[in-house]
Amino acid sequence: MKCIVTGGCGFLGSHLVEALLSLNHSVTIIDNLSTGNLDNIRNFKKKIKFIKADISNSLKIKKYFKNVDWVFHLAARADIVPSIEKPKKYFEANVIGTFNILQECRNKNIKKFIYIASSSSYGIPKKYPTNEKSLIDCKYPYALTKYLGEELVMHWGKIYNLPVISLRCFNIYGTRSRTSGTYGAVIGVFLGQKINKKPFTIVGDGNQKRDFTYVSDVVDAIIKSARSKIENKIFNIGSGKTVSVNYLIKLIGGKKIYIPKRPGEPNITFADINKIKKIIKWKPKISIEEGMKKVLNDISYWKKAPVWTKSKIKIATKNWFKYLGKKS
């Protein structure tokens, strides 16, 4: 198959590209490198076509969608605090960018369009495990713009007969996860602290649980979805299990300190994955113990990661508390 992967130089995108190449598909990456990194694709860069372009500018991407079979749309702005501070940039990338990609896919005989959505759209769910029919309750602009992108995708599937699938991913981790930028994903923060011999900064009491899903399992779900004859469906992608932050620290090993719990964050993320297991015949394979062993074996990747201390986190999350805290 001839494939386009937007955001193919990012964490998940680079793993997807590598897997597609191993299956003898041809791949074109479209990435503006705002969060992606060419180092992520250095081992297979000669096997792909790389286009540096911003998907929010339709004129820059227009000519690359002819005779394409599969489109995997991963390009997006992530992170919570920057989305609160600069919502326009998130709308342009995650909503207008998605619109532009969809428009280029119309009337092009695309065989499958896969959208990577976010479980953050569920907000603080009322039911666990959380299924795809659960209430959407976006707590910040990142979650909202990813959900609006999903709405566009499903609408284009309905109105223009584009064969689409949206995958709502839960807490992806693994090698090549982003080491630059703002305060973000907990495992990356902890690994940066471990390699620099700093204490782990645990939010709240550490009993909160997350559905950590290893990146190769997510890639497997994406490719199985593309290969399937299923269209116009939304699926959760998760491990099917929850792990406490305290248990995660036990696996990594090291000293810990505690910082205040943040508003707008659920105590639990837990994907109900029965739908995708039944329809796509996918299920996760990598346990948190096995996944963290893989990550720790490659911990040198995080040597350039920012080292987050209690004081730095307080500054970085100031607007988180300002905008997401309870109003008096």
Q: Which residues pair with 166 in a beta bridge?
A: 115, 234
Task: Give the DSSP letter string of 213-263.
Answer: EEHHHHHHHHHHHHHSS--SEEEEE--SS-EEHHHHHHHH---EEEEPPPT
Residue 140 has pLDDT above 50, yes or no: yes
Domains defined for the chain, CATH in brackets: 2-172+212-237 (3.40.50.720), 180-211+241-269+286-324 (3.90.25.10)
Residue 301 has pLDDT above 80, yes or no: yes
Please state the rounded mean pLDDT for residues 184-207: 90
Close Cβ partners of 287 (under 8 Å, ≥ 6 residues apart) = 239
The yes-or-no answer on residue 142 being catalytic is yes
Q: Under DSSP, is residue 2 helix (H, G, I), strand (E, B) or coil?
A: strand
Residue 179 pLDDT level (bands cut at 50, 70, 90):
low
Residue 284, preceding peptide bond in cis (omega within 30° of 0): no
Q: Would you give the end-to-end CA distance of the chain in angstroms?
A: 56
Residue 302 has pLDDT above 90, yes or no: no
Residue 175 has pLDDT above 80, yes or no: yes
Q: Which of the following is catalytic: 90, 140, 142, 147?
A: 142
Backbone angles phi, psi at 156, to 5 degrees: -65, -35
pTM of the model: 0.95
Q: What pLDDT score does 180 carry? A: 63
Residue 328 pLDDT level (bands cut at 50, 70, 90):
very low
- pLDDT digits over 71-95, tens only? 999 999 998 999 999 999 999 999 9
Nearest to 142 by CA among 162, 121, 126: 121
Which of 105-109, 126-130, 137-141, 237-241 has the least mean pLDDT?
Answer: 105-109
Taking each helix axis as running N to C, give the angle between helix 215-227 and helix 11-22, from 0 to 180 degrees, rounded to the nearest 10: 60
| Structural element, H or E, at residue 278 | helix 274-279
> What's the chain's average pLDDT?
94
